[in-house]
Amino acid sequence: PGAMSPALAKEAPREGSEGGSRGRSWGLLVTAGVGGALVALYAVATPFVTPALRKVCLPFVPATAAQIQNVLKMLENRSGSLVDIGSGDGRIVIAAAKKGFQAVGYELNPWLVWYSRYRAWRDGVHQNTKFYISDLWKVSFSHYRNVVVFGVPQMMPKLEKKLEEELECNARIIACRFPFPCWIPDHTTGEGIDTVWAYDLKHSRGCETKSLKITPETES
């Protein structure tokens, strides 16, 4: 009476096999889903915490509220176009746009550029801002009157030379965190990591000195 019929005996192993197969399938699906989510999270988060690929390592470190206010202070009574070199998540560009500037950001990291565009749209200044995915060494900044730089010491000598060659005499360059090595700042504000240096290129380049030297020669 307690014996299993031959038919049931044949079916029992197959039911267990099918259950195990379904379990393995669900396990694979869950593993794949979790793995996909981790890959997506890594793709989104990585640009915010690691350097973009540049000739000089320029990590993304968000500007502090004090730094933004110090930059805006250096832009008082200024007009014209503005560019932020290495614009990160766009907060300097957006803050400048709110003050009436036509502001542009150049950033090599595409995730940060897309996020900046979203923030500009969210804050209602997308019409006054533009963000480009580009290597700063491959861009000419000749048509900008106001330049903001969040750099690192290794890049400042080369960038100083590049800006001096490209910008007009009426340009102002605002350096955050690290000053330029040769130029003498016209204005300085803030303390520690929030320090901001402003350089008027007409003084750094010596445009006024050159014009004074030419005048006596013309008169004689």
Q: How many residues does the chain have?
A: 220
Dump pLDDT digits (tens) for 178-215.
999 999 999 999 999 999 999 998 876 666 544 334 33
**Helical axes 65-74 vs 91-98, angle rounded to 10°:** 50
* Residue 87: inside a domain: yes
Contact status, residue 118 vs residue 94, Cβ threshold 8 Å? no
* Residue 39: inside a domain: no
Dump pLDDT digits (tens) for 65-80.
999 999 999 999 999 9
* Residue 30: inside a domain: no
* Residue 185: inside a domain: yes
* Residue 51: inside a domain: no
Q: What's 114's domain CATH number?
A: 3.40.50.150
Sheet with 146-150, strands from edge to edge, namely 129-133, 103-107, 82-85, 146-150, 172-176, 196-200, 187-189
The tally of domains found in the chain comes to: 1
Which domain does 152 fall in, by range?
65-201
